Amino acid sequence: MHYPGLDLSKSAWEVIATVSPPDDLVLESLIQSFGIPVKLIHESIGSVFGLSIGPLGEVKIAVPEAYAEEAKQLLQAELEKTDL
């Protein structure tokens, strides 16, 4: 996806949430649906051993700093509606 005026390779990214699978994919889709670039950062050792629970299974959700406040507000609104 292309984001006019934003060079994703040079952008500073901010972690806005830490969640467990499969919530990471749900929130990634939500954020992307509002046109916000998003990265999912997995704990590498957890991936090696196939862990998807506990600290080694956690996934950090990051967005470019320019979008951080908007993305946090989206997540907060979603959390108020659901039990994610």
Domain of residue 29, CATH code: 3.30.70
Q: What is the mean pLDDT of the chain?
A: 83
Please state the rounded mean pLDDT for residues 21-42: 94
Q: Using CA atoms, how far apart are residues 63 and 36, in angstroms rounded to an integer?
A: 7
pTM: 0.77
Could you tell me if residue 19 is inside a domain? yes
15 band by pLDDT with thresholds 50, 70 and 90 = very high
10 band by pLDDT with thresholds 50, 70 and 90 = confident
Could you tell me if residue 33 is inside a domain? yes
For residue 20, what are the β-bridge partners? none
Q: How many domains does the chain have?
A: 1
Tokens encoding 10: 């040079």
Could you tell me if residue 2 is inside a domain? no
CB of 32 closer than 8 Å to CB of 74: no
What is the percentage of the chain residues whose pLDDT exceeds 90? 54
The H-assigned helical ranges of the chain are 23-33, 44-49, 68-81
